[in-house]
Amino acid sequence: MSPAPINQSVQRRRRAIVTGLAPYMNEPVLLEAISHWQLHYAERPSFSLQGFVSDLCRLFDLGERRHHIHMSLVQAMTLSDSELAADPLANSNDSHTEAHPCTHAFQCLLQALWQRLGKRAATQLQLDLGAQLRQRSVRAETRLTMEYWLQSPDKSLSPLPLASLRDQLNRTYVLLCEQLGPVEADQQLKAAYQATLARLDDKEALQTLM
């Protein structure tokens, strides 16, 4: 089976989760809930909703609304595409580069870095980046967006604020220093920067990140 139908199924279920939870959560909590689902339940079958709802009640003190939340999610799963809420991770690949040049520059820089490191070291760096996203200091929007991209690095990174991009780049550098030592980390990041600078049309966006 090709990966495309699976990706579409995950996207549709994510939209259904947003639709079902929206009446019971404000936006920051909703983003946290989607992040939790993306990390722990996105690849599980749809009948694992019960476990997801149990997690939500434990994490966000929603025990009294457990039945209503579960029924809302079950109902949302049966809705048509036109009735579902928008995907919080959706972006337009056609306009992504022009509309969000700093996000595009960040994505290209990390991809260049991974390519230089080789598969084994790059995979470890991606795992470490994913782990640090669980820290409380990382905003829910950043966590959700980065987690999704690290799980599907062939897709475009959804737009993030400049401050979040700089923070994630700094965290990447710290992890790289821990993995390689500061001297080689500096060399690898500088080489990735130069390679990215040479291929980007909007060089100022990359320079803004640093």
pLDDT digits (tens, 9 = 90+) for 155-187: 888 888 888 999 999 999 999 999 999 999 999
- Tokens read off for 124: 């470890």
Given this model, what pLDDT does residue 140 score? 79
Please state the domain extents for the chain. 3-83, 95-209
Kindly state the percentage of the chain with pLDDT values over 70. Answer: 90
- Tens of pLDDT, residues 8-19: 688 889 899 999
Summarize pLDDT for 139-162 with one digit per residue, the tens.
877 888 888 888 888 788 888 888
Extract the tokens encoding 17.
Answer: 């989760």
Binned at pLDDT 50, 70 and 90, residue 2 comes out as very low
Q: What is the DSSP string of 46-87?
A: GGGHHHHHHHHHHHHT-GGGHHHHHHHHHHHTTS-GGGSPPP
- Tell me the whole-structure pTM to 2 decimals: 0.63
Q: CA dihedral defined by 148, 153, 198, 186, rounded to 10 degrees?
A: 80
Q: List CB contacts of 156: < 8 A, sequence separation 6 or more.
A: 91, 93, 96, 104, 107
The Cα 152–Cα 191 span in angstroms is: 24
